[in-house]
Structure 1
Amino acid sequence: MIGRLRGLILEKQPPLVLLEIQGVGYEIHMPMTCFYALPEIGQEAIIYTHFIVREDAQLLFGFTDKQERALFRELIKVNGVGPKLALAILSGMSAQQFVNTVERQDISALIKLPGVGTKTAERLVVEMKDRFKGMHGDLFAVGGVGDMPLTPNPSGASADDAESEAVAALVSLGYKPQEASRMVSKVARPGADCESMIRDALRAAL
């Protein structure tokens, strides 16, 4: 099991980051709530990982802290929730927001996430609430999506490029292309980078 990686960030294409370690580049899928906290390209990052081996692929999922990874591991144990859906859930909500939502039994908030229908939302509330009881109360005491600072576009990419990247990221998280395009167009603003638009679009969707 690959549990932790430290290396230089070569590329950032939400929700994928390419991390170079001793000449080898590792593609890591990250929830957007963790992606926002990554340093800039060329800087070193430490990422806690969960490695999944399937017949057709070997996938690395990364997190900036152990709390988010712990929640991801609990989510994929829920019937009907695979790694992609767990990634979408943690992109739309921070770990603390998800815990609060489950404790409030807020089904309506969960079904706003891509791929989460009423039955899945109900299952998440029932199964995850029981699991939280066996965990430390402060395990998921982390900031929410809304706490992330807004940043200007550091790459110099055009607004159209940033919007296209934001739409592509939302599609990869499970949103339909038309829906993703509509979400981004609502929050697009001059000078905003891809990550800011994704964050604002996800926040507005809840």
Structure 2
Amino acid sequence: MIAYLEGKLVEKNPTQLILEVNGVGYCVNIPISTYDRLGEPGSKVKIITYQHVREDCLQLFGFYTPEEKWLFELLISVNGIGPKTGLGILSFISVEDFHRAIMEEHIDFLTNIPGIGRKTAQRLVVELKEKFGKLDLKKELKVDSKSQTEALIEQEAILALCSLGYSRYEAKKAIDKGKEGIKEKLTVEELIKKALRQVDRKQ
């Protein structure tokens, strides 16, 4: 079992990377959340890995954080959720927001994730809520007290910024910066405007 790979980043795209380790090139499947945090080709990278073995193939999946790998393994343990769907979920939503959606049984929020219908969302809640409840995830994942409504507004703002060409990581960073020092709740439109101001200041 390969626990992690550390070496030179040869090539990257939103779904895969090639990492050279001691003269061997490894092709690793990744979520967009990991892609957004990678350096440029030629830089040194450490990727936490999960080795998926089937009769007809062997695949490596890579993650930037232990939390992403942990959630991926839980996701593919759910009936009907394969590695491709697991990566899709991690590409769309943060570990913390997914945990919150499961614990609060927010089915409508989960169906915003591409490829997740209502029945699949219900299955995720049924199979994962008990597992989440047995662990001290608030401490482990640093889950804050943000309400589900706020989380949904933030996700909608992130999607809007992504549609403008920004990466999910860039969008999340701009939104977090735009919210600094603001105590009142913001609408999606207000959040997008504040995030765009942060982006404009960097250009």
Counterpart for residue 139 of structure 1: 140
Counterpart for residue 79 of structure 1: 79
CA contact (8 A) 2:28 2:61 kept: yes
SS in structure 2 at match of 1:122: helix
Taking the aligned partners of 2:84 and 2:170, their CA distance within structure 1 comes to 18
* Matching residue's letter, 2:40: E
Taking the aligned partners of 2:118 and 2:28, their CA distance within structure 1 comes to 30
Q: Deviation of residue 28 (structure 1)?
A: 0.8
Counterpart for residue 20 of structure 2: 20
Counterpart for residue 195 of structure 2: none
CA contact (8 A) 2:67 2:95 kept: yes
Q: Deviation of residue 135 (structure 1)?
A: 1.8
Residue 187 (1) aligns with residue 164 (2): yes
Alignment of 1:83-122 (within 5 A): 83-122=83-122
Let me know the Cα RMSD of the aligned residues. Answer: 2.8
SS in structure 2 at match of 1:60: strand
Spell out, residue by residue over 1:159-204, the C-alpha distance to the aligned partner (whole angstroms, 9 max, x if none): xxxxxxxxxxxxxxxxxxxxxxxx999424xxx6xxx27976xx99
CA contact (8 A) 2:36 2:168 kept: no
CA contact (8 A) 2:3 2:49 kept: yes
SS in structure 2 at match of 1:73: helix
Task: Could you tell me which runs of 5 or more consecutive residues in structure 1 were left unpaired when the two chains were aligned.
Answer: 148-182
Taking the aligned partners of 1:83 and 1:185, their CA distance within structure 2 comes to 23
SS in structure 2 at match of 1:56: coil
* Matching residue's letter, 2:73: R
Q: Deviation of residue 87 (structure 1)?
A: 0.5
SS in structure 2 at match of 1:129: helix
Q: Deviation of residue 56 (structure 1)?
A: 2.6
Counterpart for residue 128 of structure 1: 128
Q: Deviation of residue 132 (structure 1)?
A: 0.6
Task: Could you tell me which runs of 5 or more consecutive residues in structure 2 were left unpaired when the two chains were aligned.
Answer: 145-150, 176-187, 189-203
TM-score by length of 1: 0.69
Taking the aligned partners of 2:168 and 2:128, their CA distance within structure 1 comes to 30
Higher fraction of helix: 2
CA contact (8 A) 1:184 1:198 kept: no
Counterpart for residue 3 of structure 2: 3
Spell out, residue by residue over 1:84-108, the C-alpha distance to the aligned partner (whole angstroms, 9 max, x if none): 1010001000111110111221111
- Aligned residues, how many? 160
TM-score by length of 2: 0.70
**Kindly tell me: are residues 123 and 185 of structure 1, through their superposed partners in 2, closer, same or farther at Cα, counting changes over 3 Å?**
closer
**Kindly tell me: are residues 142 and 31 of structure 1, through their superposed partners in 2, closer, same or farther at Cα, counting changes over 3 Å?**
farther
SS in structure 1 at match of 2:140: coil
Taking the aligned partners of 2:11 and 2:58, their CA distance within structure 1 comes to 19
